[in-house]
Structure 1
Amino acid sequence: MSLRSLFSRLLSSRSRSRLEHSRVPNSSLPSHDVENTTSDSKQPEPTWRHHLLQLFIAVTLVLSAIWLLLAIWYQYGIRSAVTWLATIAIIGILAALVSTRCWNALKKILLTQSTSNKQIAHKEVATKRLIGLYAAIWLLGVGSFFSIEPKQQRDWMPEVDQRVSYERDATNPDLITLTNVRDFDWQTDEEATEHWNTRTIDLSKLSGIDVTNSYWMGPLIAHTLVSFRFEDDRPLAFSFEIRKENGESFSALAGFFRRYELSLIAAEERDIIYTRSNARGEQVYLFPISNLQQNEVRTLFESYLTAADDLNEKPAWYNTLTSNCTNIIFYMARIVSGDRLPWDYRIWVSGWLPNYLYDVGMLDAAPEKDHQPWSMDTWYERTHINPKSKGFDNQAHQSATLNSREFSQQIRQGIPIPLLADSQDSAEANANAKSMAHASD
């Protein structure tokens, strides 16, 4: 037999044996071969990390969708075609994602069999495409949202229609003439006689600061104002507020979504405090700040002038969390006082701002001559101005100046007014001592 014939017979017999072997059922194979064959078709079971990642992705998608929908609703209105189209698109994509995942999971349970590699591949491709489409829509919406610019010209409500501005005296830089100081005569919470005045103040006569908290939405939320006292003149109040348009109402939730421009109001106290305590019936408290030097008070006043310049040059958005009536004041005050005003969560919970001032030593621990320390409850009791302002006649005098002076004196009855500190060292020492006393109490 030739060598060629030998190899030919060997190859043909090997092919027949392979064919026969392929016809043998799996049950006839050794157990370890069956295990190897079936294990190749099985997919690895998902780990807890895989499930945690899926949960994180799901929560991220839902929260981002809620944020985007709220932003669209507040910008375009609930009846806008843009709002409805965006809502349908976003909810439709998320529903498709959920149905894709749930259908495959349900099919696996009902058929009690593992999903094939081809099915898994199709599922993953569909999921990635849906997520990619959603990401494109979301990025488009976010880009559109951040491109919205605040405006100076709108149909503003009368109380925020004007913008405060100022000029310095050419011969005496301490003399500041403020234009558009609000001095409305409020009859009700919505009706008032408009007055925008010009007022000249002397920075060398600054004698202190009072912080006013007006509670209108429970104990956690308050509107914060700052009043500057003068030695021989009535106080002047500043307030960061939303600049509402006619027919517009405030919503804390809408304040997250570039719905309101920011406004700085300079006003007489008989206007901006009276309207809250008397016309609106809010609960108002006035806290005199202690342990301050005159240069600190002056620097804070200058900060308000700078803020007025910035807003007049370029409008800005109000934000419920990052740029509201309370934390903007804190940002400016911290530039003045530094570490004496440490960061604290109560800066963002405006209703608790007085407690924060008490703890850092900015409210005198023993303001009366008997040196008996005041608790925070005592401070709230003594500084509650509603009983003092009740029945105040806002038209008692023909002169608005006399009315303003009388109102400011009346709401401070029974409130000890601290003197300015002689030096920074004494101010810091007193504040630290009182802060430690509060902590020990």
Structure 2
Amino acid sequence: MLQTLLWSKPSFLKINPMSLRAFVSRLLSSHSNSHRSDNGLDSHGLEADNLNNGIKASAPNSNPPKSKWRHYLLQFLIALTLILSAVWLLLAIWYQFGGHSVITWLTIALIVGVLATLLGVNAWSKTAEKLMDRLTSERRISNKKSNVKKTNNKKTTTKKTATRWLVGSYAAIWVIGFGWFMTIEPKQQRDWMPEVSERVTYTRDATNPDLITLTNVRNFDWHNADAATERWETRTIDMSKLSGVDVTNSYWMGPLIAHTLVSFRFEDDRPLAFSFEIRKENGESFSALAGFFRRFELSLVAAEERDIIYTRSNARGEQVYLFPISHLQQHEVKALFKSYLIAADELNEEPTWYNTLISNCTNIIFYMARIVSDDRLPWDYRIWVSGWLPNYLHDVGMLDTNPEKTGQPWSMDTWYERTHINPKVKGFHNNNDIHGSEFSQQIRQGILIPSLADSRTDAKVGAKSAAQASNEY
């Protein structure tokens, strides 16, 4: 009998494969139940959970788990916003107080400490989940274990409280810092460097409003990049004799960044140049990044070309190019000149900040030129990439594509080759022609100077034709 029982196949093994899998599943479930019972969890509750999970898994039309990509995206954006706002505030304080200031380092320690603590308490995910629920008005599907210990709830509550407190503290710090930043005002009186120490002013002739007498026109003799013989002069010009405009680009930081100057030509007199620049203090140097943080006042310099262009091409060794602007009427040139006078009045009345992005040496000129040209200059990203300004002028037809009146139009490569100033003035002795036009004539060698358009129609037709030719070339 015993032998029969031993050698006979048990009846519970006589089942199909599906029943076998069910048995293994039950066996594993029993093993899991034993562990959960050891942890104080009710096995009946587990069976109920398993039953509910089985129903959800078998239901073909049940809602799928919520996608988490939006959660991670929002979490990333929150973290990025906090980091960028902190970097902005720290840079603003750094450029205002310097690296040796106690205020700078105390602020760095405070902000970094608050953000590091936020990371430590996992604030990113919790805050992101709350904002996600508010934005999407959806419920998150959670699989919470039953009978969770009260201590876990207390920890969660403590973490949320700490997160709220830290976020609120950081927000208060940033708002105070931003408010302080907005109260920083530009000044007229500082220890300025000699080349920007004076401000250009002017008067009109009582009998002839076209006669303008400018004071504090700079006419320095530059010996090297840092040393010059100072000379501030008074000069009278006749706006009725204006004959054209030249744009000069000086490259000192690669092909994308250039300083832009504008020269006004006259029929019977030497050109006069204007330049929007930062008003540097003694011992101060230019920084494009600092220009975002109210570090430099804006200055308008009126100068002789033998000073303001020579110092860049010869004294500093920057690569300088001069482009004569075509298809302009005299009233447009005159209006642009007047806009510089208005800018001088405004800066003398109330100083303003230089800004690397929105109020620099290039886009201020564009703002003024667009007004006086009846919006013939379209908006373009190259207005903010100053090194590409000549390419922009070429594409909109403000550079004559065929100045030699031959069958071969000038490409931008040709323009850059012909307008390069440095080879033309290499070895030029600047102090030999203090009030002459020798330097101005030399930098225009090999360039045909365009005449003014007779009418508005001629100007528009010429610009349109040049733009089409530049696009076809």
> Judging changes above 3 Å, is the alpha-carbon distance between structure 1 residues 303 and 30 closer, same or farther for their aligned structure 2 residues?
closer
- Could you tell me which amino acid in structure 1 is paired with residue 242 of structure 2? L
Output the TM-score relative to the length of structure 2: 0.82
| 8 Å Cα contact 1:212/1:226 also seen in 2 | yes
Larger radius of gyration: 2
Residue 345 of structure 1: which of 374, 381, 392 is its match?
381
| 8 Å Cα contact 2:75/2:124 also seen in 1 | no
Q: Match of 1:319, SS?
A: coil
- Could you tell me which amino acid in structure 2 is paired with residue 158 of structure 1? P
Structure 2 equivalent of residue 69 of structure 1: 90
| 8 Å Cα contact 1:26/1:34 also seen in 2 | no
| 8 Å Cα contact 1:27/1:34 also seen in 2 | no
Deviation, structure 1 residue 371: 4.1
Q: Match of 2:431, SS?
A: coil
Tell me, in whole angstroms, the C-alpha distance in 2 between the residues paired with 1:50 and 1:395: 69
Tell me, in whole angstroms, the C-alpha distance in 2 between the residues paired with 1:271 and 1:34: 87
Residue 179 of structure 1: which of 197, 215, 218 is its match?
215
> Judging changes above 3 Å, is the alpha-carbon distance between structure 1 residues 55 and 317 closer, same or farther for their aligned structure 2 residues?
same
2:464 is the counterpart of 1:432:
yes
- For residues 142-163 of structure 1, the C-alpha deviation after alignment (integer angstroms, 9 at most, x for no partner) is 1000100000000000000000
- For residues 364-416 of structure 1, the C-alpha deviation after alignment (integer angstroms, 9 at most, x for no partner) is 0100032421010000000001111111111224xx212xx110011101111
Tell me, in whole angstroms, the C-alpha distance in 1 between the residues paired with 2:46 and 2:441: 101
Structure 2 equivalent of residue 141 of structure 1: 177
2:417 is the counterpart of 1:401:
no
> Judging changes above 3 Å, is the alpha-carbon distance between structure 1 residues 149 and 202 closer, same or farther for their aligned structure 2 residues?
same
Structure 2 equivalent of residue 254 of structure 1: 290
Structure 2 equivalent of residue 31 of structure 1: 47
- Could you tell me which amino acid in structure 2 is paired with residue 435 of structure 1? A
Structure 2 equivalent of residue 88 of structure 1: 109
Structure 2 equivalent of residue 282 of structure 1: 318
Tell me, in whole angstroms, the C-alpha distance in 1 between the residues paired with 2:41 and 2:387: 78
Tell me, in whole angstroms, the C-alpha distance in 1 between the residues paired with 2:302 and 2:154: 70
> Judging changes above 3 Å, is the alpha-carbon distance between structure 1 residues 367 and 104 closer, same or farther for their aligned structure 2 residues?
closer
Tell me, in whole angstroms, the C-alpha distance in 2 between the residues paired with 1:322 and 1:406: 36
Deviation, structure 1 residue 339: 3.0
Residue 51 of structure 1: which of 68, 72, 87 is its match?
72
Q: Match of 1:338, SS?
A: coil
Tell me, in whole angstroms, the C-alpha distance in 1 between the residues paired with 2:156 and 2:51: 22
Deviation, structure 1 residue 121: 2.5
| 8 Å Cα contact 2:75/2:125 also seen in 1 | no
Deviation, structure 1 residue 33: 6.4
2:447 is the counterpart of 1:415:
yes
Deviation, structure 1 residue 125: 1.8
- For residues 243-281 of structure 1, the C-alpha deviation after alignment (integer angstroms, 9 at most, x for no partner) is 000000111110110000000000000000000000000
Instruction: Provide the identity percentage.
Output: 71
Deviation, structure 1 residue 338: 3.3
Tell me, in whole angstroms, the C-alpha distance in 1 between the residues paired with 2:320 and 2:367: 23
Tell me, in whole angstroms, the C-alpha distance in 2 between the residues paired with 1:196 and 1:68: 40
> Judging changes above 3 Å, is the alpha-carbon distance between structure 1 residues 325 and 159 closer, same or farther for their aligned structure 2 residues?
same
Matches within 5 A, 1:2-401: 26-28=42-44, 31-32=47-48, 47-101=68-122, 116-397=152-433, 400-401=434-435
5+ residue gaps, structure 2, are: 1-39, 54-64, 127-143
Greater displacement, 312-321 / 50-59: 50-59
| 8 Å Cα contact 2:111/2:170 also seen in 1 | yes
Tell me, in whole angstroms, the C-alpha distance in 2 between the residues paired with 1:235 and 1:35: 91
Structure 2 equivalent of residue 40 of structure 1: none
| 8 Å Cα contact 1:288/1:363 also seen in 2 | yes
Tell me, in whole angstroms, the C-alpha distance in 1 between the residues paired with 2:220 and 2:41: 97
Tell me, in whole angstroms, the C-alpha distance in 1 between the residues paired with 2:44 and 2:267: 106
Tell me, in whole angstroms, the C-alpha distance in 2 between the residues paired with 1:316 and 1:29: 72
Tell me, in whole angstroms, the C-alpha distance in 2 between the residues paired with 1:122 and 1:188: 66
Output the TM-score relative to the length of structure 1: 0.87
Deviation, structure 1 residue 29: 5.5
| 8 Å Cα contact 1:100/1:123 also seen in 2 | yes
- For residues 160-219 of structure 1, the C-alpha deviation after alignment (integer angstroms, 9 at most, x for no partner) is 000000000000000000000000000011100000000000000000000000000000
Deviation, structure 1 residue 340: 1.5
Q: Match of 1:351, SS?
A: helix
> Judging changes above 3 Å, is the alpha-carbon distance between structure 1 residues 433 and 123 closer, same or farther for their aligned structure 2 residues?
same
Deviation, structure 1 residue 32: 2.6
Tell me, in whole angstroms, the C-alpha distance in 2 between the residues paired with 1:210 and 1:30: 85
> Judging changes above 3 Å, is the alpha-carbon distance between structure 1 residues 104 and 206 closer, same or farther for their aligned structure 2 residues?
closer
Q: Match of 2:203, SS?
A: strand
